[in-house]
Structure 1
Protein backbone atom coordinates (compact mmCIF):
# COMPACT_ATOMS: atom_id res chain seq x y z
CA UNK A 1 0.00 0.00 0.00
CA UNK A 2 1.15 3.54 -0.73
CA UNK A 3 2.08 5.82 2.19
CA UNK A 4 -0.87 7.74 3.61
CA UNK A 5 -0.44 11.44 2.89
CA UNK A 6 -4.04 12.68 2.83
CA UNK A 7 -6.75 11.53 5.24
CA UNK A 8 -10.50 11.98 4.87
CA UNK A 9 -12.22 12.33 8.23
CA UNK A 10 -15.93 11.58 8.57
CA UNK A 11 -17.57 12.80 11.77
CA UNK A 12 -20.60 14.48 13.27
CA UNK A 13 -21.78 18.02 12.65
CA UNK A 14 -22.75 17.98 16.33
CA UNK A 15 -20.65 17.21 19.41
CA UNK A 16 -22.59 14.27 20.83
CA UNK A 17 -23.20 13.73 24.51
CA UNK A 18 -19.73 12.66 25.63
CA UNK A 19 -16.96 15.28 25.98
CA UNK A 20 -14.52 12.55 24.93
CA UNK A 21 -15.80 12.88 21.36
CA UNK A 22 -14.77 16.54 21.08
CA UNK A 23 -11.41 15.77 22.71
CA UNK A 24 -10.82 12.98 20.19
CA UNK A 25 -11.56 15.30 17.27
CA UNK A 26 -9.10 17.85 18.67
CA UNK A 27 -6.45 15.17 19.17
CA UNK A 28 -6.94 13.70 15.72
CA UNK A 29 -6.69 17.04 13.90
CA UNK A 30 -3.53 17.93 15.81
CA UNK A 31 -1.98 14.51 15.21
CA UNK A 32 -2.66 14.52 11.47
CA UNK A 33 -1.05 17.92 11.10
CA UNK A 34 1.90 16.86 13.25
CA UNK A 35 2.44 13.84 11.02
CA UNK A 36 2.34 15.96 7.87
CA UNK A 37 -0.89 14.31 6.74
CA UNK A 38 -3.37 16.56 4.95
CA UNK A 39 -6.98 16.61 6.07
CA UNK A 40 -9.97 16.33 3.75
CA UNK A 41 -13.31 16.83 5.45
CA UNK A 42 -16.87 18.04 4.93
CA UNK A 43 -16.11 21.77 4.98
CA UNK A 44 -18.21 22.88 7.94
CA UNK A 45 -17.31 24.74 11.14
CA UNK A 46 -19.79 22.97 13.40
CA UNK A 47 -19.54 20.05 15.79
CA UNK A 48 -16.75 17.51 15.57
CA UNK A 49 -16.27 18.47 11.93
CA UNK A 50 -15.24 22.01 12.80
CA UNK A 51 -13.18 20.82 15.76
CA UNK A 52 -10.99 18.45 13.76
CA UNK A 53 -10.41 21.04 11.03
CA UNK A 54 -9.58 23.87 13.43
CA UNK A 55 -7.20 21.62 15.37
CA UNK A 56 -5.38 20.65 12.19
CA UNK A 57 -5.11 24.30 11.14
CA UNK A 58 -3.87 25.38 14.57
CA UNK A 59 -1.13 22.74 14.35
CA UNK A 60 -0.01 23.99 10.93
CA UNK A 61 -1.78 21.37 8.85
CA UNK A 62 -3.27 21.64 5.38
CA UNK A 63 -7.06 21.33 5.24
CA UNK A 64 -9.40 20.88 2.28
CA UNK A 65 -13.11 21.33 2.90
CA UNK A 66 -15.62 19.94 0.42
CA UNK A 67 -19.17 21.12 0.94
CA UNK A 68 -22.39 21.06 -1.10
CA UNK A 69 -23.77 24.52 -1.83
CA UNK A 70 -27.03 23.82 0.04
CA UNK A 71 -25.09 23.12 3.27
CA UNK A 72 -22.91 26.24 3.25
CA UNK A 73 -25.20 28.14 5.63
CA UNK A 74 -26.35 25.19 7.75
CA UNK A 75 -22.85 23.87 8.42
CA UNK A 76 -21.25 27.35 8.57
CA UNK A 77 -18.52 26.82 6.01
CA UNK A 78 -15.07 27.23 7.56
CA UNK A 79 -13.30 29.99 5.64
CA UNK A 80 -9.88 29.56 7.29
CA UNK A 81 -8.94 26.40 5.40
CA UNK A 82 -6.41 26.46 2.59
CA UNK A 83 -8.83 24.99 0.06
CA UNK A 84 -12.60 25.01 -0.10
CA UNK A 85 -14.50 23.21 -2.85
CA UNK A 86 -18.20 23.95 -3.20
CA UNK A 87 -20.04 21.23 -5.08
CA UNK A 88 -23.63 20.90 -6.35
CA UNK A 89 -24.65 17.77 -4.41
CA UNK A 90 -23.71 15.11 -1.88
CA UNK A 91 -22.70 12.60 -4.53
CA UNK A 92 -20.05 14.95 -5.91
CA UNK A 93 -18.84 15.75 -2.40
CA UNK A 94 -18.34 12.08 -1.57
CA UNK A 95 -16.65 11.32 -4.89
CA UNK A 96 -14.15 14.15 -4.46
CA UNK A 97 -13.47 13.19 -0.85
CA UNK A 98 -12.72 9.67 -2.06
CA UNK A 99 -10.51 10.78 -4.95
CA UNK A 100 -8.46 13.17 -2.83
CA UNK A 101 -7.80 10.79 0.08
CA UNK A 102 -5.42 7.92 0.80
CA UNK A 103 -7.34 6.74 3.88
CA UNK A 104 -10.64 7.24 5.70
CA UNK A 105 -11.03 7.82 9.43
CA UNK A 106 -14.43 7.86 11.11
CA UNK A 107 -15.03 9.60 14.41
CA UNK A 108 -18.40 9.39 16.19
CA UNK A 109 -21.29 10.89 14.25
CA UNK A 110 -24.84 10.44 13.08
CA UNK A 111 -26.56 8.91 10.09
CA UNK A 112 -24.59 10.96 7.54
CA UNK A 113 -21.30 9.82 9.08
CA UNK A 114 -22.53 6.23 9.06
CA UNK A 115 -23.59 6.48 5.42
CA UNK A 116 -20.16 7.77 4.35
CA UNK A 117 -18.38 5.05 6.31
CA UNK A 118 -20.54 2.24 4.98
CA UNK A 119 -20.05 3.42 1.41
CA UNK A 120 -16.27 3.12 1.78
CA UNK A 121 -16.60 -0.32 3.36
CA UNK A 122 -18.87 -1.42 0.51
CA UNK A 123 -16.53 -0.14 -2.19
CA UNK A 124 -13.60 -1.90 -0.51
CA UNK A 125 -15.64 -5.11 -0.20
CA UNK A 126 -16.38 -4.93 -3.94
CA UNK A 127 -12.71 -4.38 -4.79
CA UNK A 128 -13.07 -0.74 -5.88
CA UNK A 129 -10.31 0.46 -3.55
CA UNK A 130 -7.74 -0.78 -1.02
CA UNK A 131 -7.46 2.39 1.03
CA UNK A 132 -7.49 1.86 4.80
CA UNK A 133 -10.69 2.59 6.70
CA UNK A 134 -10.39 3.31 10.43
CA UNK A 135 -13.21 3.47 12.97
CA UNK A 136 -12.19 5.54 15.99
CA UNK A 137 -14.32 3.86 18.63
CA UNK A 138 -14.08 6.48 21.36
CA UNK A 139 -15.89 5.20 24.46
CA UNK A 140 -16.85 2.12 22.40
CA UNK A 141 -19.02 4.30 20.16
CA UNK A 142 -18.76 1.95 17.17
CA UNK A 143 -19.16 -1.29 19.18
CA UNK A 144 -22.87 -1.70 18.24
CA UNK A 145 -22.02 -1.32 14.55
CA UNK A 146 -19.23 -3.86 14.80
CA UNK A 147 -21.68 -6.20 16.53
CA UNK A 148 -24.15 -5.63 13.68
CA UNK A 149 -21.46 -6.61 11.16
CA UNK A 150 -20.96 -9.86 13.11
CA UNK A 151 -24.73 -10.39 13.11
CA UNK A 152 -24.81 -9.95 9.31
CA UNK A 153 -21.98 -12.46 8.98
CA UNK A 154 -23.70 -14.95 11.27
CA UNK A 155 -26.78 -14.78 9.04
CA UNK A 156 -24.81 -15.28 5.84
CA UNK A 157 -25.05 -11.78 4.40
CA UNK A 158 -21.32 -11.12 4.73
CA UNK A 159 -20.02 -14.23 3.06
CA UNK A 160 -16.63 -15.91 2.79
CA UNK A 161 -14.44 -13.89 0.46
CA UNK A 162 -16.50 -10.72 1.02
CA UNK A 163 -15.15 -9.86 4.45
CA UNK A 164 -15.20 -6.27 5.56
CA UNK A 165 -11.71 -4.83 5.88
CA UNK A 166 -11.35 -2.08 8.45
CA UNK A 167 -9.30 -1.08 11.46
CA UNK A 168 -10.58 -0.17 14.89
CA UNK A 169 -8.71 2.45 16.89
CA UNK A 170 -9.70 2.69 20.56
CA UNK A 171 -8.72 6.36 20.68
CA UNK A 172 -7.55 9.19 18.44
CA UNK A 173 -3.93 8.82 19.54
CA UNK A 174 -3.77 5.42 17.86
CA UNK A 175 -4.82 6.63 14.41
CA UNK A 176 -1.60 8.10 12.97
CA UNK A 177 0.60 5.13 14.03
CA UNK A 178 -2.03 2.80 12.56
CA UNK A 179 -2.08 4.70 9.25
CA UNK A 180 1.72 4.70 9.10
CA UNK A 181 1.71 0.93 9.53
CA UNK A 182 -0.90 0.41 6.81
CA UNK A 183 1.14 2.63 4.49
CA UNK A 184 4.10 0.32 5.03
CA UNK A 185 1.90 -2.73 4.45
CA UNK A 186 3.30 -4.37 7.59
CA UNK A 187 1.95 -7.46 9.26
CA UNK A 188 1.43 -5.44 12.43
CA UNK A 189 -1.15 -3.27 10.75
CA UNK A 190 -2.84 -6.18 9.04
CA UNK A 191 -3.24 -7.92 12.39
CA UNK A 192 -5.73 -5.33 13.57
CA UNK A 193 -7.95 -5.59 10.52
CA UNK A 194 -11.36 -6.56 11.84
CA UNK A 195 -12.83 -9.59 10.09
CA UNK A 196 -15.11 -10.78 12.85
Structure 2
Protein backbone atom coordinates (compact mmCIF):
# COMPACT_ATOMS: atom_id res chain seq x y z
CA UNK A 1 0.00 0.00 0.00
CA UNK A 2 1.33 3.44 -0.92
CA UNK A 3 2.16 5.81 1.93
CA UNK A 4 -0.67 8.21 1.04
CA UNK A 5 -3.17 5.34 0.83
CA UNK A 6 -1.98 4.05 4.22
CA UNK A 7 -2.38 7.53 5.73
CA UNK A 8 -5.89 7.85 4.27
CA UNK A 9 -6.83 4.43 5.64
CA UNK A 10 -5.54 5.27 9.13
CA UNK A 11 -7.30 8.64 9.08
CA UNK A 12 -10.56 6.98 8.02
CA UNK A 13 -10.25 4.46 10.86
CA UNK A 14 -9.54 7.14 13.46
CA UNK A 15 -12.42 9.33 12.26
CA UNK A 16 -14.79 6.34 12.07
CA UNK A 17 -13.89 5.25 15.62
CA UNK A 18 -14.62 8.74 16.95
CA UNK A 19 -17.84 9.00 14.93
CA UNK A 20 -19.06 5.57 16.08
CA UNK A 21 -18.32 6.48 19.71
CA UNK A 22 -20.14 9.79 19.37
CA UNK A 23 -23.08 8.96 17.09
CA UNK A 24 -23.26 5.17 16.78
CA UNK A 25 -22.67 2.86 13.88
CA UNK A 26 -25.31 4.48 11.68
CA UNK A 27 -23.10 7.54 11.26
CA UNK A 28 -23.08 8.60 7.64
CA UNK A 29 -20.16 7.07 5.74
CA UNK A 30 -20.13 10.21 3.59
CA UNK A 31 -19.64 12.27 6.77
CA UNK A 32 -16.76 10.02 7.87
CA UNK A 33 -15.10 10.42 4.47
CA UNK A 34 -15.65 14.19 4.53
CA UNK A 35 -14.19 14.54 8.04
CA UNK A 36 -11.20 12.45 6.95
CA UNK A 37 -10.67 14.76 3.97
CA UNK A 38 -11.20 12.05 1.34
CA UNK A 39 -13.92 11.15 -1.13
CA UNK A 40 -16.50 8.44 -0.49
CA UNK A 41 -14.84 6.36 -3.23
CA UNK A 42 -11.64 6.27 -1.17
CA UNK A 43 -13.60 5.04 1.84
CA UNK A 44 -15.23 2.28 -0.20
CA UNK A 45 -11.91 1.24 -1.78
CA UNK A 46 -10.56 0.57 1.70
CA UNK A 47 -13.81 -0.65 3.28
CA UNK A 48 -16.29 -2.10 0.73
CA UNK A 49 -19.10 -2.36 3.32
CA UNK A 50 -20.09 -0.70 6.58
CA UNK A 51 -19.55 -4.06 8.32
CA UNK A 52 -15.98 -4.24 6.98
CA UNK A 53 -15.32 -0.74 8.35
CA UNK A 54 -16.83 -1.67 11.73
CA UNK A 55 -14.80 -4.87 11.91
CA UNK A 56 -11.58 -3.05 11.02
CA UNK A 57 -12.26 -0.25 13.53
CA UNK A 58 -12.92 -2.87 16.22
CA UNK A 59 -9.65 -4.69 15.47
CA UNK A 60 -7.76 -1.39 15.46
CA UNK A 61 -9.24 -0.32 18.80
CA UNK A 62 -8.26 -3.65 20.41
CA UNK A 63 -4.74 -3.35 18.96
CA UNK A 64 -4.37 0.23 20.20
CA UNK A 65 -5.57 -0.70 23.68
CA UNK A 66 -3.23 -3.68 23.95
CA UNK A 67 -0.23 -1.75 22.61
CA UNK A 68 -1.02 1.11 24.97
CA UNK A 69 -0.47 -1.19 27.95
CA UNK A 70 3.08 -1.90 26.78
CA UNK A 71 3.83 1.76 26.06
CA UNK A 72 2.39 2.98 29.36
CA UNK A 73 4.30 0.31 31.31
CA UNK A 74 7.56 1.60 29.79
CA UNK A 75 6.84 5.28 30.43
CA UNK A 76 4.99 5.50 33.75
CA UNK A 77 5.18 4.09 37.27
CA UNK A 78 3.10 0.89 37.46
CA UNK A 79 0.04 2.30 39.23
CA UNK A 80 -0.08 5.33 36.93
CA UNK A 81 0.27 3.07 33.87
CA UNK A 82 -2.66 0.99 35.12
CA UNK A 83 -4.76 4.09 35.84
CA UNK A 84 -4.10 5.59 32.41
CA UNK A 85 -4.79 2.28 30.65
CA UNK A 86 -8.12 1.95 32.47
CA UNK A 87 -9.03 5.47 31.29
CA UNK A 88 -8.15 4.45 27.73
CA UNK A 89 -10.43 1.44 28.19
CA UNK A 90 -13.31 3.91 28.65
CA UNK A 91 -12.60 5.32 25.17
CA UNK A 92 -12.44 1.80 23.75
CA UNK A 93 -15.73 0.99 25.45
CA UNK A 94 -17.37 4.14 24.07
CA UNK A 95 -16.39 3.13 20.53
CA UNK A 96 -17.53 -0.46 21.10
CA UNK A 97 -20.88 0.74 22.47
CA UNK A 98 -21.37 2.86 19.36
CA UNK A 99 -20.77 -0.18 17.17
CA UNK A 100 -22.74 -2.65 19.30
CA UNK A 101 -25.50 -3.39 16.75
CA UNK A 102 -23.00 -4.16 13.99
CA UNK A 103 -20.73 -6.07 16.35
CA UNK A 104 -23.70 -8.18 17.41
CA UNK A 105 -24.34 -9.06 13.74
CA UNK A 106 -20.67 -10.01 13.32
CA UNK A 107 -20.82 -12.05 16.53
CA UNK A 108 -23.94 -13.86 15.34
CA UNK A 109 -22.15 -14.59 12.06
CA UNK A 110 -19.33 -16.22 14.08
CA UNK A 111 -16.76 -13.68 12.94
CA UNK A 112 -13.28 -14.60 14.12
CA UNK A 113 -12.64 -11.05 15.37
CA UNK A 114 -13.97 -12.06 18.77
CA UNK A 115 -11.79 -15.15 19.10
CA UNK A 116 -8.79 -13.54 20.76
CA UNK A 117 -9.78 -9.95 21.61
CA UNK A 118 -11.11 -10.61 25.13
CA UNK A 119 -8.05 -12.66 26.08
CA UNK A 120 -5.67 -10.03 24.66
CA UNK A 121 -7.35 -7.29 26.69
CA UNK A 122 -7.35 -9.47 29.81
CA UNK A 123 -3.62 -10.22 29.36
CA UNK A 124 -2.84 -6.51 28.98
CA UNK A 125 -4.68 -5.77 32.22
CA UNK A 126 -3.09 -8.73 34.03
CA UNK A 127 0.39 -7.49 33.11
CA UNK A 128 -0.32 -3.98 34.39
CA UNK A 129 -1.93 -5.25 37.61
CA UNK A 130 0.96 -7.65 38.28
CA UNK A 131 3.50 -4.84 37.83
CA UNK A 132 1.60 -2.52 40.20
CA UNK A 133 1.23 -5.28 42.81
CA UNK A 134 4.96 -6.10 42.54
CA UNK A 135 5.81 -2.41 42.95
CA UNK A 136 3.57 -2.22 46.03
CA UNK A 137 1.50 0.62 44.57
CA UNK A 138 -1.81 -1.27 44.59
CA UNK A 139 -3.25 -3.81 47.01
CA UNK A 140 -1.77 -7.30 47.03
CA UNK A 141 -5.17 -9.03 47.07
CA UNK A 142 -6.17 -7.70 43.63
CA UNK A 143 -7.44 -10.25 41.14
CA UNK A 144 -7.19 -8.93 37.57
CA UNK A 145 -10.44 -10.69 36.72
CA UNK A 146 -12.24 -8.69 39.43
CA UNK A 147 -10.86 -5.42 38.04
CA UNK A 148 -11.89 -6.44 34.53
CA UNK A 149 -15.40 -7.28 35.71
CA UNK A 150 -15.70 -3.89 37.39
CA UNK A 151 -14.41 -2.12 34.28
CA UNK A 152 -16.73 -3.93 31.92
CA UNK A 153 -19.62 -3.03 34.21
CA UNK A 154 -19.40 0.47 32.75
CA UNK A 155 -20.25 -0.99 29.34
CA UNK A 156 -23.74 -1.87 30.51
CA UNK A 157 -24.44 1.50 32.14
CA UNK A 158 -27.31 3.44 30.55
CA UNK A 159 -26.35 5.52 27.51
CA UNK A 160 -26.86 8.97 28.96
CA UNK A 161 -25.18 12.19 27.79
CA UNK A 162 -22.83 12.04 30.78
CA UNK A 163 -21.92 8.35 30.31
CA UNK A 164 -18.28 8.94 29.39
CA UNK A 165 -17.36 11.51 32.09
CA UNK A 166 -19.23 9.43 34.67
CA UNK A 167 -17.39 6.29 33.52
CA UNK A 168 -14.07 8.10 33.84
CA UNK A 169 -14.94 9.09 37.41
CA UNK A 170 -15.87 5.48 38.18
CA UNK A 171 -12.51 4.31 36.82
CA UNK A 172 -10.79 6.85 39.12
CA UNK A 173 -12.76 5.48 42.05
CA UNK A 174 -11.74 1.92 41.14
CA UNK A 175 -8.12 3.04 41.00
CA UNK A 176 -8.42 4.75 44.40
CA UNK A 177 -9.74 1.47 45.80
CA UNK A 178 -6.86 -0.46 44.27
CA UNK A 179 -4.33 1.91 45.85
CA UNK A 180 -5.98 1.91 49.28
CA UNK A 181 -3.90 -0.07 51.74
CA UNK A 182 -1.08 -0.73 49.27
CA UNK A 183 2.37 -0.78 50.89
CA UNK A 184 3.60 2.15 48.76
CA UNK A 185 0.25 3.43 47.49
CA UNK A 186 -1.22 6.86 48.01
CA UNK A 187 -3.78 5.30 50.34
CA UNK A 188 -1.20 3.45 52.45
CA UNK A 189 -2.08 3.42 56.11
Q: TM-score, normalised by structure 1?
A: 0.30
**Structure with greater proportional helix content:** 2
Greater gyration radius: 2
**Structure with greater proportional strand content:** 1
